[in-house]
Amino acid sequence: MQDNDDNKRTCPAGLGQKIKDFAFSTYNPSSDSFEEHSFFEYSLSGKWLVIYFYPADFTFVCPTELADIGGYYKQLRNMGVEVISISTDSKFSHLAWCKAEKLLRDVNFLMASDTTGEIADFFGVYDKEAGTALRGTFIINPESILVGTEVNYYNVGRNAAELVRKMQAYVYVDKHPHQACPAAWEDGDGVLTPSEDLVGRVADFWVNRRS
């Protein structure tokens, strides 16, 4: 008898594999309320999901990162992408931080609480000694498959503009599975169509990719 496909593919987060569903508490800055959510509800609604781990509320690099991605949140949502930030802080800490930190005044995505570190541990970014998460970004497609990951150490912040560029590429190739986006691809650039005719001739494409 064959194994159930979901059981085979659900495991500690690895590229190309289905993530585990988690339920979690959140603070929603846009409605100033506490809510309960789960990862799979986004796949059920056909959305892409960006899971954005950061170390802690009331710190220094973290509010700059959340403000940075918050500036692109509307653009991401228009692409069918939802964003959830996660730290090991409580939902009450999230609320208090949003009220106190002016950089967060335009943050409107859900801020999830992972007080046990279980979610961060699944994604491989939990620092057990510190009790916090590293700066991990995980891109989940509408089938709950992990397709993109980036992890930074504590003292280097991420670039949300690059995240948006990668999301545009992932959304494009999801709709055009026989094509591929080359290095530094931007929306509107030419794409690669792998075939025997392209073998050894990528330079010709590269020269003309933005013409």
Establish whether 98 is a catalytic residue: no
Domain spans of the chain?
5-159
The DSSP letter of residue 192 is B
Tell me the two tokens of residue 136: 């991990």
pLDDT digit string (tens) for 92-109? 999 999 999 999 999 999
pLDDT > 60? residue 60: yes
pLDDT value, residue 151: 96
Active-site position among 11, 62, 98, 181: 62
Give long-range contacts, CB 8 A cutoff, 24+ apart: 90-93: 90/115, 91/25, 91/26, 91/27, 91/34, 92/27, 93/57, 93/58
Q: Which secondary-structure segment (H or E) carries 182?
A: none
pLDDT digit string (tens) for 31-41? 999 999 999 99
CATH 3.40.50.150 fits 5-159, yes or no: no
DSSP string across 130-175: TTEE-EEEEEE-TTSBEEEEEEE-TT----HHHHHHHHHHHHHHHH
pLDDT digit string (tens) for 109-125? 999 999 999 999 999 99
Residue at 60: amino acid letter: F
pLDDT > 50? residue 174: yes
